[in-house]
Structure 1
Amino acid sequence: MPRSVETSPADSDPALSEPPLPLFDTAQTVTLGPVPSYLKDHRKRLRARFLDGGAKAVPDYELLELLLFGALPRGDVKPLAHALIERFGDLAGVVTAPSAQLSKIEGVGESVLVALKVTQAVAGRLARAKVLNRPVISSWSALLDYCHTVMAHRSVEHARVLYLDRKNCLIADEELARGTVDHVPLYPREVLKRALDLDASALILVHNHPTGDSTPSEQDIALTRRVEEAASALSVVLHDHLIIGKSQEYSFRANGLL
């Protein structure tokens, strides 16, 4: 017996509704009409402009349109792209938004969610590939880009630790804790236990501030001191503690707190 299919807000708008995915439900078939010529021409022109000029040739909402073309092969995706940008601020905000919040936008179904989350995963892995197993000193800018890519748009605080070997190459990047909008629990004992497991010689603490302000709190400063003391006792160097804001980061080392 075919299983029932839940409807979403998008089902009320044929232009944005998504056809069933055969991979998940082969019991239904849908006959789709041809794409209107004006939409076909728009997609063709937009793809050509992107191929000719790259990302700089198109604004955020049009890049998002290009992304949505594959997820929604029928209909005009421009209104959905505008709605997503308006709700989440920019392309990065859309791609990194929690799935639960994205699903509240009319027109966002499984295919759109998958497209956005795959894009987020690819961006993170590309940024990570530029720093993994490379000396952090010579790839510091790439390291900051990676931290911003994976943390700047998170809605709650996350703490991760970058573990380095004797040549200061990144050997492990691990998220150790998730918290609330203004606090994340991180315990020096757990940080150093993992360092010993990895035979790491140094480490970098990283956490984000969802408010966008990267200024450290008194708790951030106190935690950094505790980790530094515990690391020093085990001959492990704390190179830095980075706080990632929306558009900038705060380095404890650069600001004389380490």
Structure 2
Amino acid sequence: MARPHILCVEDDVEIARLLADVLEENGFAASCVGSAAEMDKVLERGGVELVVLDLMLPGEDGLSVCRRLRALSAIPIIMVTARSDQIDRIVGLEIGADDYVSKPFNSRELVARIRALLRRAAASTQAGPSRERGLGFAGWRIDPAARELHDPAGVRISLTSVEFDLLLAFCRNPGQVLSREHLLELVHGGSVGPIERSIDVHISRIRQKIEADPRDPLMIKTVRLGGYVFTPAVELD
């Protein structure tokens, strides 16, 4: 079986070497590059399954790279940030990163994050013989098997893997107040860490895509001290 190919975009040679060693020791194939231009060349060759992206890069910075990648592809992206870069972490998640780890990072945590994202990405290509039926809400349609969301006009709306899983969890539990902890359990077995701390940002991104006015959401409502509730009626498609 081919090893999953992880591309690390990191200009610090020592950190890049550490990343490569950690990934190789845990069964991945690793490529490391130091700039966006080098990243583009590797991606053009194909076969990359996930990008570990440092925000502080020479030339085109990591936030710009993340925005550009997300506009072109749904490839999973894990940002690597300095501990003090809270604003950058939030902005990175808002423009499409799936998760983040902070420097100095824990290698076991990074590997766990990568495996979790690869599992979700693999689910998008594993439509079994008994396809789960799609779900409809307020004119929208979400297809769990194809992992696609279509707006009322039939236009496909791009979602990251985390965004898709969160929206699907809401659609499967309409009218129920879901805490952040419950959403984590529904989405990927309750793992904790960066995704838990950034779940509000992912939900904000979903609102940007499905709400008429994201500042006054009608479909995904915040419940004070409770979590979130999905208000539309949901029907089998």
TM-score (norm 1): 0.30
Q: Which has the higher contact order (CA 8 A, sep 6+)?
A: 2
Report which of the two has the higher share of helix: 1
Report which of the two has the higher share of strand: 2
TM-score (norm 2): 0.32
